[in-house]
Chains A and B, each alone.
Chain A
Amino acid sequence: MSTRLHSSGWRELNALRVFRQGLVVGYRDFRDFWSLKSWLFGWMLRISTNAFAWVLLGRVVGSEARLEYLLVGNAIATGPAAALWASNATTWARYDGTHPLLVIAPSSLIPAVMGRTSIWLFNGLTTSAATFALFTLAFDYRPAGGGALWVPFVVLLVCASTYFFALFMGALLSNRSRWRNMALDIAGTSLLAFSGVSVPVSFWPAWVQAVVAVLPVSHGLHAARILLEGGPWHEAWRSLALELLVGAGWLAVGLFTMDRLFNGGRADGTIELT
């Protein structure tokens, strides 16, 4: 038994089990917020009507091309916007009083946190898919490109990289949880304002473009647009690779920040109930 305990294979298996248990807690969190009925008629109604107004703005400016741009951007953006909720969920363990217990548990805290919060990543994916389906019917949208079949995977990637960014945000906010909702509002609106959802990234000043380039969403969204419009595959691959790189970067930064914070908390006594 003791040899098994120290083997790395056992540790991986253990992390996976912890993640799975975390996911169960995450699912309970989710069900605290939404039942199927309230998700459909509360959450989806709000998200889709909001996005619908932005798409209609294309009609106001009198261009079908703009409408299509807004449709694709806003349908996909509902996903990362929902996935960003994970930053909020990261701070919940503080309120539940489970944070100190997780810190003293022999298993790493990270799979537990990721398990619990990743439910919002799946919510993002489902939200985006449902909004896309709704808009396809409402605006009779037909993508020109054969690459459209790959778009769900792109949306998954965009939601995942946003989720990794949310982990970093959540880690930063875990000792300042008073600000968590405000931070979520501002980060969500700004991320979607400048990432090519409603207006191309190139419209904004160079320094904004530089910031957007290292944030999630913009590269993946660009790839999705190319696939839907039937643009060159190599360009789509390039953008996808960049989104993957950005996502991996934020995962690394997020894990590092979490680790630092938890170890720092052990040292300075901030592992406490908030």
Chain B
Amino acid sequence: MASLKRIVSGAARAQLLITRHNIEDLRPIIGMPLVAVVALGVLVHSGKSELAPYALVAAVLMTIGQMGNFVASEIVFQDRNEQTLELLVASPAPYYFVLLARVLVLTSLGAVGALQAWLIARLCFWLSIPVHHPGLALVTLVAASVAASGTALLTTALFALGTQVRTFQNAINGPLYLLGGVLVPVAYLPAWLQPVSPFVFFYWAANLLRAAFLPGEPEHVARSLAAILLLGVATGLLGKLVLSRMLDHLRRDGGLGLT
């Protein structure tokens, strides 16, 4: 157990060092919160400043989502390209846990988007948006980062398999944000699309985050958090399966080797 802790903390530290020097890793954190400018612009211009939290929720969830789908999902692919995969697989530490720690670091960094979006609202629009349930907001952001990590564990294993899945990487985020009601609550979607939404963790996270900005008592908190975590764990376990099958495949076919 102590050794697992060391592996996880070591991998997390390594990822932070890699990310600090990699502009590509920081793209979503710097670029995505700009979404808040557009969304706040639309809401304020329409005289709906009270809906400003929608813009913040969209900006932060999209930042977390992009960190998962475009940064964390690249880890295995990069490990293969840089031939660190061979070294990691040969070491006694389980690769899955190394990966888990690194993915978690990246998706948690996405939560910084919340601060940026809040500052954009404050400094560009002079809006002070009170967070009525800061505890709920924080717990939801943590849960969303965990769930995004689960998805990223699955996608990082898939994306390393071939170029065809790149299409999937490019395609996946738009539909996930739309179905998850990240910017526009699901109630506004066409009725035939709505039943799919509860299978997307963004749906539960967006509802909880929006509720955190409302003065009233938030509803279904435990159920929503459970749903987010459940979806995260389910995709994470599926990722573990795909990853171990991929590594088995590489070992069997002699696909691993330093040049």
Please give the residue numbers on chain A whose beta carbons come within 8 Å of chain B beta carbons, in ascending order. Answer: 34, 37-38, 41-43, 45-50, 52-54, 56-57, 59-63, 66, 70, 178-179, 181-182, 185-186, 189-190, 192-193, 197-200, 203-204
Contacts and interface: CB of A to CB of B under 8 A. Distances in A.
Given A66-B46, A190-B34, A199-B42, A50 B177 contact: yes
A193 B184 contact: no
B170 A57 contact: no
Contacts of A203: 41, 45
Contacts of B35: 189
Contact of B188 (A43, A56, A190, A204): A56
| Chain A interface main SS type | helix
B185 A60 contact: yes
Given A45-B175, A52-B178, A60-B54, 10 more contacts: A46-B170, A47-B174, A57-B43, A61-B43, A61-B46, A63-B46, A182-B26, A182-B30, A186-B34, A199-B38
Contact of A59 (B27, B164, B184): B184
Nearest to A138: B190
B34 A193 contact: yes
Contact of B34 (A34, A62, A179, A189): A189
A62 B184 CA distance: 12
Contacts of A186: 30-31, 34
A181 B27 contact: yes
B38 A192 contact: yes
A57 B39 contact: yes
Contacts of B30: 182, 185-186
A62 to B, nearest CB: 8
A46 B174 contact: yes
Interface string B174-187: 11011000111100
Given A50-B177, A189-B34, A192-B38, A57 B183 contact: yes
B167 A59 contact: no
Nearest to B171: A42
Contacts of B41: 193, 198-199, 203-204
Given A49-B178, A61-B46, A203-B45, A185 B167 contact: no
Contacts of B46: 61, 63, 66
Contact of A193 (B37, B177, B178): B37
A50 B184 contact: no
Residue from A53, A61, A70, A182 whose CB has the most chain B CB atoms within 10 Å: A53
A41 B42 contact: no
B171 A45 contact: yes
B23 interface: yes
Contacts of B45: 199-200, 203
18 contacts: A37-B167, A38-B167, A42-B167, A46-B171, A49-B174, A49-B177, A53-B182, A53-B183, A54-B38, A57-B184, A61-B47, A61-B48, A181-B24, A186-B31, A189-B37, A197-B38, A203-B45, A204-B41
Nearest to A186: B31
B168 interface: yes
Given A60-B51, A189-B34, A182 B27 contact: yes
A187 to B, nearest CB: 10
